[in-house]
């Protein structure tokens, strides 16, 4: 796994089961937050919630929670403060969690007139697999099969949350170079596709780095060689070579970097001339 990326953090895998797919109008029927505190103490929070409305049969047929299962249960207001305390400042891991689970959760807090808790970082595994160019399908079940992860009781909040955390762990092993960054950098890369960014808190931007070629396509950041263009913009050349060697082959061709000296620098950095 990428060294230290989650060390010292409260890490929580997060998943919801709901009445439907609208993040603005549907409601939560089950929530799971599973992970560990900074000292390694296990955290396992799983709760069925009364959505205060009938659960459509189509939704119940997916997650197995029916109206009779929520009858007599508390609604979201009964756990809102507890959920907020857990999520605030945590690293949240989940599959499609940024655009679905967190947005739907925010709507629940908004209905109560409460502020949405702010995680320290969000590690969305669907963003990561897309950024890593892992072939489709990208649904959680298919990705678990591809990576040898057992997903029993799929479409229960706890099972899906735990599976997303295992998927993150597997990705961090199989694609270790891409995970050798701070949480902020890793999240930025997953969302935007680049690590370095001009005028940000992440430190020096691409424009601050030393030019290797006259056009500024290749730059140096200390000992690292960084691409400043294309789909791998902002990434270290060694990382790209590990994950996408064909791109490096193109980069070193006449159609890639049109500067002989820059190509020689890249070859030497990758050890091709040894």
The pLDDT of residue 84 is: 97
Could you tell me the strand order of the sheet in which 224-227 lies? Answer: 210-211, 218-221, 224-227
pTM over 0.85? The answer is: no
Say which residue, 184 or 82, is predicted with more confidence: 82
pLDDT-based confidence at 4, cuts 50/70/90? low
The pLDDT of residue 235 is: 81
The 3-state DSSP class for residue 65 equals: coil
Distance between terminal CA atoms of the chain? Answer: 29
The pLDDT of residue 157 is: 94
What percentage of the chain reaches a pLDDT higher than 90?
A: 60
pLDDT for 10-65, tens place per residue? 999 999 999 999 998 999 999 999 999 999 999 999 999 999 999 999 999 999 99
Paired residues of 42 in beta bridges: 36
The C-alpha atoms of residue 119 and residue 112 are separated, in whole angstroms, by 19
CA atoms within 13 A on the CB side of 159: 14
pLDDT for 98-137, tens place per residue? 989 999 999 999 999 999 999 999 999 999 999 999 988 9
The C-alpha atoms of residue 111 and residue 51 are separated, in whole angstroms, by 12
The C-alpha atoms of residue 62 and residue 71 are separated, in whole angstroms, by 19
Among residues 146, 85, 95, the alpha carbon closest in space to that of 118 is found at 85
Looking at the chain, the domain(s) classified CATH 3.30.420.10 span 11-186
CATH class of the domain whose range is 11-186: alpha beta
């Amino acid at each position: 796994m990428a060294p230290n990326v989650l060390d010292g953090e409260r890490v929580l895998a997060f998943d919801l089961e709901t009445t439907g797919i609208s993040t603005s109008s549907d409601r939560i029927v089950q929530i799971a937050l599973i992970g560990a505190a900074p000292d390694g103490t296990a955290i396992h929070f799983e709760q069925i919630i009364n959505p205060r409305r009938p659960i459509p049969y189509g939704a119940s047929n997916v997650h197995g929670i029916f109206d009779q299962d929520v009858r007599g249960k508390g609604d979201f207001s009964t756990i809102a403060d507890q959920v907020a305390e857990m999520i605030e400042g945590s690293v949240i891991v989940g599959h499609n969690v940024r655009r679905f689970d967190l947005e739907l959760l925010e709507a629940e807090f908004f209905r109560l007139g409460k502020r949405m808790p702010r995680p320290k970082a969000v590690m969305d595994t669907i963003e990561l697999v897309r950024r890593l160019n892992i072939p489709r399908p990208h649904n959680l079940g298919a990705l678990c099969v591809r990576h040898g992860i057992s997903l029993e009781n799929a479409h229960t909040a706890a099972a899906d949350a735990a599976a997303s955390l295992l998927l993150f762990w597997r990705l961090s092993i199989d694609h270790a170079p891409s995970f050798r960054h701070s949480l902020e950098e890793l999240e930025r890369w997953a969302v935007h596709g680049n690590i370095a960014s001009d005028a940000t808190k992440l430190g020096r931007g691409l424009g601050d780095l030393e030019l290797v070629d006259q056009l500024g396509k290749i730059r140096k950041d200390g000992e690292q060689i960084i691409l400043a263009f294309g789909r791998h913009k902002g990434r270290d050349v060694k990382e790209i070579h590990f994950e996408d060697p064909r791109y490096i082959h193109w980069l070193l061709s006449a159609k890639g970097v049109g500067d002989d000296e820059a190509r020689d620098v890249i070859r030497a950095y990758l050890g091709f001339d040894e």
